[in-house]
Amino acid sequence: MEEKKSNPLKIFLYISAWVIIWGTLGSFVDYPLYKNKIYLEGSIYQYLTFIITGIISILSARFFYKKIKL
């Protein structure tokens, strides 16, 4: 059985895409919470919003990475 070599450029682009997805998702969740004064800018809750969306993004990226086999 031949071992598959991974392409570093594809992996770099895949990770970059997920960073963009994480930032976008985090911002979509953050914006209405911030505008409705549920929390203030720079508060622990804003950090938690981005941490939670980051965890969701990491788990999703790992799941899809196994499916697309870069």
Q: Say what the pLDDT of residue 64 is.
A: 93
Q: What is the DSSP string of the chain?
A: -PPPPP-HHHHHHHHHHHHHHHHHHHHHHHHHHHHTTSS-TTSHHHHHHHHHHHHHHHHHHHHHHHHH--
> What is the pTM assigned to this prediction?
0.79
**What would the pLDDT profile of 14-69 be if each residue is shown by its tens digit?**
999 999 999 999 999 999 999 999 999 899 999 999 999 999 999 999 999 988 87
Domain residue ranges in the chain? 8-68
Confidence of residue 1 (pLDDT cuts 50, 70, 90): low
Q: Say what the pLDDT of residue 70 is.
A: 72
Strands (E) across 1-70 are located at none
Q: Say what the pLDDT of residue 62 is.
A: 93
Question: What is the residue whose two structure tokens read 């985090």?
Answer: 26
